[in-house]
Structure 1
């Protein structure tokens, strides 16, 4: 988002005009930023066979997926529904990995039927897989490396108490199942968590996975998951992708030499690719003067962006209706949901008026995908800006959308 003569724009598209055209609240995504992040990751790992598997749970809009496909990114899905959307977006089955997490086996069977690559995270499902498919269907296994990493415990997935993955201590049991069913294990996967600040975490995980992988002779892929840290405010720590790329590429090349063949290294970024591209635009409904603080009540809330309340996540907020040079005032920004619904606390913003439009930044990941109809509110429209053109990629919901699957009982 840039400022041109006190007008906030993305690729020459005036954000206030978008609000006039499509209403608020409104999700807006900057396709050029997505492309920039894809290229950043590609450039960081130039010297090895690296593949990007977009963790689409971050943002499953079919047009965003289509853009990822256009940019040469493959995809990781976590449900048959995400798989179906990915197929409709133009991904071939060979480009899709289905990562299961404690799902019923019929979900795995459904994805096998579509010829996507399966990633299994528990011994029970691995045994069922062996019983049904033997070595006729390739499979990845998800390992829990017992290394903690992530912004907070809710998004840390690799530690020893996590529900995710097969514990690394259970390696003998995995090898027994491989021998029993002649399983065709083609990849080892792990995901340590999200918002990992220090690249050393990835380096430490790499050492564990490289050692673990040596007992699996038919591997084609090592999947290190995602979790790269993005900036949420000025001066925020980010994962140093250049440094990480150099360190992981060197150690991966050394591992491949020791292993005896070149494998592919996969990453599954979600937030890293789409977070910074997204803005949630909302209108100030009420300027509420309290004795201790002033509140800006918006026409959005945790029903559209739950991250501040669920994860205590920081999202920068900009008043795009006022000049950045306007006189400032301290505000708490709150939503209109009938709950404690804090979006941003103690933010210095240009003095606001009712009707002003605020832009909530870093809303491209886990925004709309975690949105709900709580309080029977409609979910917002979505707009993707790409190559200087604004595209409506989801219509705003209506009351009929909320009622469609409900059945009115005749008592």
Structure 2
């Protein structure tokens, strides 16, 4: 997909609009599958982007689906994923949501002692489960997206193993999988090897184990000089570790990973229009027709998105602070070099496929943007832009 294609989409569908390149998603998935042995399976982390067309496309590539809510499970089934290719890993939900997932016959991952005991007392060994372990490995980028540290709400601490064993023994639980996820944007492949070694130690306590799920956290580059997780090196190291373990113990497990941002992050392009160029005594603001109601990542955890001027790519470079149009401080970039921006120029935010639209809102009663999938050389509208009536759709007027 070229910049010319993006400009055409902006003119055809208006801005703001999210555009996803299917070819980019396919290449990222093939990068993973070619880097690991055939006994490794990949489950797309749906929370990154759940448009039904994206789910259908990823299903067609052969991936499974990692879900964190019961509605993501339902979306996955509707998109064509079979129940054996869906893993449900909720957090801080009650037993009812677990039971809803049981009715849909998907893999279930339990991440706290309370639900483990309730589930075991009610269902025993009648339904096999995964257990999510907190390995106390601090990994990932911003602290807001690190999930394996000691203060994390996710998973059951490795130091609570004896408690898990007591629940298993007293309720006859059937544990077929162990899961851990330490965070996002992990640059060092050895972090995964550290987690795998912990998994090997824990495996001795679970006689019916079939699956080891390492979560994900593969990093993608956002700006020049950024590193991407070296999945080829990781694949070789993981294969070596699994082979050594199998030779030593005679046990063989299927290994799972849950890439989300790694698959869809680079595929996404967020197109906006420059509304105003505002010169102050200290700064030149480029005010666009969006805000953190559409792309919250820069404000939420200081994420970087490359911004380019598609309308004036050869213009002289000037320094702008790019801000939004909502009634909050919503700064996307401070003192960023851009080719000269004129009012009505179309700008693009790169690497906007993951957690962009998915975290959007109607704050300030602004309308959510449209979504477009670029597939087989054609742009397909896959979500209409909100209309005014959408703001009132579920409101009940009593006055």
* TM-score, structure 2 normalization: 0.98
Equivalent residue pairs, number: 399
Rounded to whole Å, the distance in 2 between the matches of 1:263 and 1:241 is 20
Task: Spell out, residue by residue over 1:201-253, the C-alpha distance to the aligned partner (whole angstroms, 9 max, x if none).
Answer: 11111111111112111111000001011000122111111111111121122
Rounded to whole Å, the distance in 1 between the matches of 2:368 and 2:247 is 51
Given the alignment, which residue of 192, 200, 207 partners 2:182?
A: 192
Kindly indicate whether the alpha-carbon contact (under 8 Å) linking 2:215 and 2:257 is maintained by their aligned counterparts in 1: yes
Kindly indicate whether the alpha-carbon contact (under 8 Å) linking 2:23 and 2:375 is maintained by their aligned counterparts in 1: yes
Unaligned segments of structure 1, at least 5 residues: 3-7
Question: 1:35-114 residue pairs with structure 2 within 5 A?
Answer: 35-45=26-36, 47-114=37-104
Kindly indicate whether residue 307 of structure 2 is the aligned counterpart of residue 317 of structure 1: yes
SS state at 1:276 partner: coil
Given the alignment, which residue of 9, 15, 22 partners 2:6?
A: 15
Aligned to 1:282: 272
- 35-44 vs 207-216, which moves further: 207-216
SS state at 2:108 partner: strand
Question: 1:4-403 residue pairs with structure 2 within 5 A?
Answer: 8-9=3-4, 14-45=5-36, 47-323=37-313, 325-403=314-392
Kindly indicate whether the alpha-carbon contact (under 8 Å) linking 1:134 and 1:183 is maintained by their aligned counterparts in 2: yes
SS state at 2:181 partner: coil
Rounded to whole Å, the distance in 2 between the matches of 1:260 and 1:391 is 50
Kindly indicate whether the alpha-carbon contact (under 8 Å) linking 2:44 and 2:64 is maintained by their aligned counterparts in 1: yes
Rounded to whole Å, the distance in 2 between the matches of 1:302 and 1:399 is 19
Kindly indicate whether the alpha-carbon contact (under 8 Å) linking 1:48 and 1:253 is maintained by their aligned counterparts in 2: no
1:104 CA drift (Å): 1.1
Rounded to whole Å, the distance in 2 between the matches of 1:259 and 1:97 is 27
Kindly indicate whether the alpha-carbon contact (under 8 Å) linking 2:269 and 2:353 is maintained by their aligned counterparts in 1: yes
**Alignment RMSD (CA, Å):** 1.0
1:401 CA drift (Å): 1.2
SS state at 2:34 partner: helix
Kindly indicate whether the alpha-carbon contact (under 8 Å) linking 1:309 and 1:341 is maintained by their aligned counterparts in 2: yes
Unaligned segments of structure 2, at least 5 residues: none
* TM-score, structure 1 normalization: 0.95
Task: Spell out, residue by residue over 1:132-176, the C-alpha distance to the aligned partner (whole angstroms, 9 max, x if none).
Answer: 211010100000000100101100000111110000000011111
Rounded to whole Å, the distance in 1 between the matches of 2:218 and 2:103 is 32
Rounded to whole Å, the distance in 2 between the matches of 1:170 and 1:244 is 29
Rounded to whole Å, the distance in 2 between the matches of 1:255 and 1:289 is 63
Rounded to whole Å, the distance in 1 between the matches of 2:239 and 2:278 is 54
1:48 CA drift (Å): 4.5
Rounded to whole Å, the distance in 2 between the matches of 1:258 and 1:215 is 16
Rate the CA distance shift 1:82–1:143 in 2: closer, same or farther, 3 A: same
1:326 CA drift (Å): 2.1
Aligned to 1:408: 397
Rounded to whole Å, the distance in 1 between the matches of 2:208 and 2:247 is 15
